[in-house]
């Protein structure tokens, strides 16, 4: 048995609102996310009536305890006795005014800024990169899911739409950009102590793979990787960019933490293949970004299916698994990317722009999937920017 958002929604509909009706019918329940034995609920008690005064902290605490009790009851009905639950009370602008966290033992307690047990979002105090509008991290919980492939094609797709785009190869231990962008014949240039990014396929890029011997492994401890990544961020002269895509190494280690502490991210994209073992790690990656205060812009299902030379589609890994995971975590689903012989050949040959042309991409399926992915990402970036106040809709009258 599995706990779902519908189960939680039904439980919350039994909780009365102080001004009449229940939490659900009044639209107070803004968001519900469920993953295995963890759940989160976001509630605005003044939803629909911003002028209404907020309940006192004591009233919110009592309401939170009731929410905690009802949701745990729904979880127990589904066979889950130890539920990790977070209840966020927000104002009508979405700002969290009280956070209650119930651990597996069912003890609900308020988390405040002064609580030493409450981790401070690492990205909240980070600064931006001069001249760069949007910084997007592309990460995954495990290796081998095609994270760099997604990062490269996102960058190329955005550039094809007229954006100024940069691509930073943050995979310190296994840099792949020299191969995927065809940079082997180019030399790294340094002017006045600043790294000059390569320009290839309409995208500016920088990679550790052009700064070290390609034949030698990088045997670095965490602090060394931390420092190297910091240098790539601070010493590269990007100029004016609309987007900077950062390809992270797999896992949840030093480099993602350094990134969150160093630069203000617009958000993160989580890459996952359809099978369950990849989903489990992608869930951890998603949780890592959220714990660092980085918004998850969406999930990409890579290698969703294989297109053979005969044109048939083969669901080798079980198509749709990553999409279901995204729905379970309440994250946007950006799209599914198929794999075919052309994608492999174009990647190995350093010709990523060929993935956007049906003549060199093995048909129309791959270009359409990539274009959908880019369009969805643009939309999520716009929404994220508006929610943070970075951009506002404008009306022109002529």
pLDDT digits (tens, 9 = 90+) for 327-383: 888 889 999 999 999 999 999 999 999 999 999 999 999 999 999 999 999 999 988
Return the pLDDT at 123: 58
pLDDT tens-digit readout, 194-209: 889 999 999 999 988 7
Copy the structure tokens of residue 126: 């980070």
- Cα–Cα distance, 157 to 335 (Å, whole number): 14
Per-domain residue ranges of the chain: 5-111, 134-387
**pLDDT of 19 higher than 70:** yes
Identify the residue with better confidence: 82 or 116. 82
pLDDT tens-digit readout, 259-291: 766 778 899 999 999 988 888 888 888 888 887
Burial class (CB in 10 A: 0-12, 13-18, 19+), 203: buried
- Cα–Cα distance, 336 to 369 (Å, whole number): 7
Return the pLDDT at 93: 72
- Cα–Cα distance, 331 to 371 (Å, whole number): 20
CATH number of the 5-111 domain: 3.30.300
Identify the residue with better confidence: 251 or 355. 355
State the chain's mean pLDDT as an integer: 82
**pLDDT of 126 higher than 80:** no
Rg (CA), the chain: 23
> Residues with Cβ < 8 Å from 176, sequence gap 6 or more?
148, 169, 209, 247
- State the CATH class of domain 134-387: alpha beta
Quick count: other Cβ atoms within 10 Å of Cβ 315? 12
The answer to which of 145-159, 170-184, 198-212, 352-366 has the lowest mean pLDDT is 170-184
Return the pLDDT at 261: 65
């Amino acid at each position: 048995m599995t706990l779902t958002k519908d189960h939680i929604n039904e439980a919350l509909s039994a909780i009365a609102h102080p001004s009449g009706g229940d939490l659900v019918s009044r639209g107070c329940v803004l968001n519900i996310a469920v993953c295995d034995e963890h759940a989160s609920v976001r509630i605005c008690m003044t939803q629909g009536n911003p002028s209404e005064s907020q309940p006192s902290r004591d009233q919110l605490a009592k309401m939170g305890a009731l929410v905690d009790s009802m949701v745990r009851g729904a979880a127990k009905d589904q066979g889950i006795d130890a539920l990790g639950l977070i209840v966020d009370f927000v104002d009508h602008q979405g700002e969290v005014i009280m956070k209650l966290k119930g651990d597996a033992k069912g003890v609900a307690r308020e988390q405040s800024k002064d609580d030493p047990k409450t981790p401070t979002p690492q990205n909240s105090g980070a600064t931006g990169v001069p001249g760069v509008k949007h910084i997007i991290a592309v990460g995954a919980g495990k290796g081998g899911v095609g994270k760099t492939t997604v990062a490269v094609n996102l960058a190329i797709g955005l550039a094809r739409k007229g954006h100024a785009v940069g691509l930073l190869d943050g995979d310190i231990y296994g840099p792949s950009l020299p191969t995927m962008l065809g940079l082997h014949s180019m030399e790294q240039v340094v002017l006045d102590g600043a790294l000059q990014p390569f320009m290839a396929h309409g995208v500016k890029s920088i990679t550790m793979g052009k700064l070290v011997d390609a034949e030698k492994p990088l045997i670095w401890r965490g602090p060394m990787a931390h420092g190297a990544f910091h240098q790539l961020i601070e010493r590269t002269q990007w100029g004016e960019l609309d987007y900077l895509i950062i390809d992270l190494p797999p896992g949840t280690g030093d480099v993602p933490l350094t990134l969150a502490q160093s630069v203000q991210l617009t958000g993160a994209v989580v890459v996952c293949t359809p099978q369950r073992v990849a989903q489990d790690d992608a869930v951890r990656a998603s949780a890592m970004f959220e714990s660092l205060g980085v918004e998850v812009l969406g999930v990409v299902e890579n290698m969703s299916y294989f297109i053979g030379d005969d044109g048939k589609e083969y669901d080798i890994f079980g198509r749709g698994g990553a999409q279901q995971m995204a729905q379970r975590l309440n994250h946007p689903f950006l799209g599914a990317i198929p794999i075919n012989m052309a994608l492999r050949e174009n990647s190995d040959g350093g010709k990523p722009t060929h993935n956007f042309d049906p003549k060199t991409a093995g048909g129309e399926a791959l270009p359409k999937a990539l274009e959908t992915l880019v369009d969805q990402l643009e939309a999520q970036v716009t929404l994220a920017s508006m929610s943070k106040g970075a951009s506002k809709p404008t009306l022109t009258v002529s």
